[in-house]
Structure 1
Amino acid sequence: MDERMTELREAADAVLGTLLHDGIRDLVPDLVSALEPGDFPEPRDGELWDVLCSLRAAGRACDPITVTAALREAGDLDRHGGPVRLHQLHDAVPTVAHALHYAEILREDATWRALSTVGAEAASAAAARRGTAADAAQRAVEAARAVRDRGIAADEDRVVDLLDLIAEDQAEPDWVIPGVLARWDRLILTGVEGGGKSLMLRQIAVRAAAGLHPWRKASIEPVKVLIIDAENNDDQVRPWLDQMHTAARDEGATIERGAVRALIKPDGIDLTRPVDRARVLRLVEAEAPDLITIGPLYKLASPKSGAQAEESAWELMSALEAVRGASDGAALLIEAHAPHPSPGGHRDLRPIGSSLWRRWPEFGFGMDPVSSRAEPGAEELRLCEWRPWRGSRSERSWPARVCEGVSWPWQAVQYRGNEPMTFTVEDHGVRPAGGVPEQADFWDDQQIG
């Protein structure tokens, strides 16, 4: 019981404290509608919730100082613990991104309390034999239904007729990279160890921050990027980012200060631990990126086995969803390892670990090296198939193949023919051999838009 009361106390403090924070304008309507004053176990907390919601509804400033003034004017400051408690509530919020989760904890407990009251009243009526049994049962059913439906009527699910649904215009995605990634997209990229998948994700991120399409020579609207590297140290990350910065500058692009920010944690981050998760969420809230690269996946949680591994995968997925929520829908690019191939067999490119990862993202691709036995010169060029390991949920413009680039780590190849191709390296870069431009061309040689 004490543990439960502690959880409720912490949830109440966190949800009250959230309304004392700045930068939560988009969160306020959902949070205010999620709770009523009676949902708080302590009446004074419900009263304070009512005050904070009223200030927010009136568009007035709502922080420890302004609320102190409002409570003092109403003569209720001492009842609510004075300025000290208001500052404590402000500081008690692990992350505002979880505010609706804190509210759900209080809401669930309030529903149980209401149901307990219904049961007690029904038991009392049965013991006293008040009225008829049928009437008492009906009153109990109606009261229980009211508890079940509490708050639902204000937010009914929208049911759409088929003919109306198909007649609606298809909304244009909120693009981060036009034709490639939209807000809220999740992509997992897998590959062999040392195969360059982290460089590919950084290239996508840095070019996007520079206002460049990931592969084509085309301009896009620059975006804000956050790189979270849980495997490499500063000295391993710096040279490649320096090279990419130079390559962007050579293309006439500018990366503004603050456009690319990096969190480098070579010892890993355990997002299943509340303290690590809270730190990352605070960072994401502060940076507000449009695109996040994070990984590798196995360095984002403590290793576990068996049933614990599945549970850990669910917890990590929940944490990554919270990261997306804290960023208000940044596109999320995740690096993951593929399992080792069986002897003489083809490598499975799906992420190692729980099968949940194979169903979770909108897009799942693997960088699959092409053998020179199959295509002479392929290994010299680091030619890789851009191979999907899950069906994409939306049609996007992905390359069919990639190979080692000249100024950037990777260069994308669009392959239109069905016949094998071989490649050679020339002084001015990589070009297909055999004079078959009608079958293939490099996206870096194309203009779009």
Structure 2
Amino acid sequence: MDETRMIELREAADAVLGTLLHDGIKDLVPDLVSALEPADFPEPRDGELWDVLCSLRAAGRACDPITVTAALREAGDLDRHGGPVRLHQLHDAVPTVAHALHYAEILREDATWRALGGVGAQAASAAAARQGTAADAAQRAVEAARAVRDRGIAAEDDQAVDLLDLIAEADQEPDWVIPGVLARWDRLILTGNEGGGKSLMLRQIAVRAAAGLHPWRKAAIRPIKALIIDVENSRDQVRPWLAKMHAAAEGETASVERGALRVVIRPEGVDLTQPVDRARLLRLVEAEAPDLIVIGPLYKLAAPRAGEAAEDSARALMAALEAVRAASGGAALLIEAHSPHASQGRRDLRPIGSSLWLRWPEFGFGLGPVTDEPGAEDLRLCDWTPWRGSRSERAWPERVCMGVTWPWQAVQCASGSANAGMTVAEGVTAEAGWVSEPIS
């Protein structure tokens, strides 16, 4: 094994051991404990320590450097495991607990290769000895290889469910962040042209939700905790709009309480495909534990690399964003993205880049300016245009236009709606910045 690989395995082992020494990982423990066995660690003493940590977790006992030191001292094994100093080093060696399962997979993969190498050595030894029949030796090798392949996963095999049992199950209510609009673990990408108001729309959703206001209607909801990560605009560009939105919320007898909405401003961008930037963001998200994350624009979340295929870049960034969701415990993720320039007079509202972005989110919409109706330009009227089929029915607006107290307001003016037959101006009430009939 080359030195680089040995270092990677050493770091992965330290990280998974150190993760179990951290507080606040209750939801992660079952998956992490089931992902590894003591034999998966290259060094036997690490496997033994893993067994001790898993036993403490299974018993519901405290598991930190101090309590583990006491447990190892009582068993007479403290010196074998490097003493209290090493336990504290393991705790501090974890870049982010959100990556613990990835580190476990590194160890698991290496252990599988080692086990497969052992099967190959046994088969080669049997072939050299020529004992019994070749068919018997081959069958033993096949069974041993199958055992390596299936080690630890047989219990997790998918089980088929009968159709009648499936349709008899009661529907589960989504774990709502914003009732009827966004549930936990949802991903939404909003696209549009440059300066088209995408970031204002997403900030508005975050501010209203943090203040306990529905994004489209004059209705109260349970206030949630939101995190805005702006990697394009400066503080002087972000602050005035957020101040106006905060004032608008207070005008509706609501307010954003301290700690309910946090803002990160990085106009220079980040590169979430790189370990340093990714770890920094994951630590932030772990600490804030938001219900809703607004982040973007997409093109400033990863640096372009010469010769890298668009799909490879997209996959790396998607993996990083999935890690962000996991670190938050399932926050709804709202992402701003740019759309291509107009072609033959029409603008494609799909996000720039790999076609993988068309399939990744649960919801994908674009702000498409309306240009063929009287008064549309003055009101900044936009269709709320889906560029991918939504995976669930939600209460999205059909159109939005320039707001009065808020940057945007929803407009319901499709055929058959409450405002059908009205002109654009008649369908909007200036008093509250909403349609005459709230969107249901």
TM-score (normalizing by structure 1): 0.93
Q: CA deviation at 1:426?
A: 11
Q: Deviations over 1:351-371 (max 9, x none)?
A: 011111111111110001112
Aligned to 1:74: 75
Could you say what secondary structure the match of 1:263 adopts?
strand
Tell me whether 1:86 sits opposite 2:87 in the alignment.
Answer: yes
Contact 1:216 1:445 in 2 (8 A): no
Separation of aligned partners in 1, 2:42 and 2:71: 23
Structure 2 letter corresponding to 1:351: P
Contact 2:411 2:428 in 1 (8 A): no
Tell me whether 1:380 sits opposite 2:378 in the alignment.
Answer: yes
Aligned to 1:250: 251
Could you say what secondary structure the match of 1:158 adopts?
coil
Q: CA deviation at 1:37?
A: 0.5
Aligned to 2:138: 137
Aligned to 1:436: none
Contact 2:98 2:282 in 1 (8 A): yes
Separation of aligned partners in 2, 1:103 and 1:157: 22
Q: Deviations over 1:363-395 (max 9, x none)?
A: 110001112xx1121111111111111111111
Separation of aligned partners in 1, 2:431 and 2:190: 24
Change in Cα spacing, 1:312 to 1:447, as seen in structure 2 (3 Å) is closer
Separation of aligned partners in 2, 1:443 and 1:215: 9
Could you say what secondary structure the match of 2:228 adopts?
strand
Contact 1:298 1:336 in 2 (8 A): yes
Separation of aligned partners in 1, 2:435 and 2:184: 24
Change in Cα spacing, 1:420 to 1:197, as seen in structure 2 (3 Å) is farther
Aligned to 2:164: 163
Aligned to 2:438: 446
Aligned to 1:435: none
Aligned to 1:434: none
Aligned to 1:359: 359
Could you say what secondary structure the match of 2:367 adopts?
strand
Aligned to 2:26: 25
Aligned to 1:4: 5
Q: CA deviation at 1:171?
A: 1.4
Separation of aligned partners in 1, 2:182 and 2:167: 24
Contact 1:412 1:444 in 2 (8 A): no
Q: Deviations over 1:32-69 (max 9, x none)?
A: 11111000000010011011111111111111111111
Could you say what secondary structure the match of 2:309 adopts?
helix
Separation of aligned partners in 2, 1:25 and 1:99: 13
Structure 2 letter corresponding to 1:352: I
Could you say what secondary structure the match of 2:374 adopts?
coil
Tell me whether 1:417 sits opposite 2:415 in the alignment.
Answer: yes
Separation of aligned partners in 2, 1:285 and 1:149: 34
Separation of aligned partners in 1, 2:186 and 2:427: 37
1:36-115 counterparts in 2 under 5 A?
36-115=37-116
Change in Cα spacing, 1:352 to 1:306, as seen in structure 2 (3 Å) is farther
Separation of aligned partners in 2, 1:178 and 1:427: 24
Q: Deviations over 1:184-232 (max 9, x none)?
A: 1110000111111100000111101111100100011111101000001
**What's the % identity of the aligned pairs?**
79
Could you say what secondary structure the match of 1:160 adopts?
coil
Aligned to 1:390: 388
Could you say what secondary structure the match of 1:189 adopts?
strand
Separation of aligned partners in 2, 1:444 and 1:90: 57
Structure 2 letter corresponding to 1:410: W
1:327-366 counterparts in 2 under 5 A?
327-342=328-343, 344-366=344-366
Aligned to 1:438: none
Structure 1 letter corresponding to 2:261: V
Change in Cα spacing, 1:427 to 1:377, as seen in structure 2 (3 Å) is closer
Tell me whether 1:153 sits opposite 2:157 in the alignment.
Answer: no
Considering only aligned residues, what root-mean-square deviation do their CA atoms show, in Å?
1.9
Separation of aligned partners in 1, 2:90 and 2:12: 11
Contact 2:190 2:367 in 1 (8 A): yes
Contact 2:428 2:435 in 1 (8 A): no
Contact 1:20 1:63 in 2 (8 A): yes
Aligned to 1:208: 209
Q: CA deviation at 1:72?
A: 1.4
Structure 1 letter corresponding to 2:407: P
Separation of aligned partners in 2, 1:195 and 1:305: 30
Structure 2 letter corresponding to 1:165: L
1:421-440 counterparts in 2 under 5 A?
422-424=423-425, 429=430
Structure 2 letter corresponding to 1:356: L
Q: CA deviation at 1:24?
A: 0.3
Contact 2:19 2:91 in 1 (8 A): yes
Structure 1 letter corresponding to 2:69: T
Aligned to 1:399: 397
Separation of aligned partners in 2, 1:442 and 1:209: 19
Contact 2:427 2:435 in 1 (8 A): no
Q: Deviations over 1:259-300 (max 9, x none)?
A: 000111010011011100000011111111110000000010
Contact 1:303 1:309 in 2 (8 A): no
Contact 2:428 2:436 in 1 (8 A): no
Contact 1:229 1:264 in 2 (8 A): yes
Separation of aligned partners in 1, 2:217 and 2:297: 26
Q: CA deviation at 1:305?
A: 5.7
Change in Cα spacing, 1:413 to 1:351, as seen in structure 2 (3 Å) is same
Separation of aligned partners in 1, 2:90 and 2:406: 49
Separation of aligned partners in 1, 2:92 and 2:160: 41
Q: Deviations over 1:107-162 (max 9, x none)?
A: 11111111111111111111111222222222212111111110012322232122
Contact 2:204 2:245 in 1 (8 A): yes
The answer for unaligned runs of 5 or more in structure 2 is none
Contact 1:215 1:443 in 2 (8 A): no
Q: CA deviation at 1:415?
A: 1.8
Q: Deviations over 1:292-322 (max 9, x none)?
A: 0000000100024664332111100000011
Separation of aligned partners in 2, 1:427 and 1:146: 67
Could you say what secondary structure the match of 1:188 adopts?
strand
Change in Cα spacing, 1:253 to 1:63, as seen in structure 2 (3 Å) is same
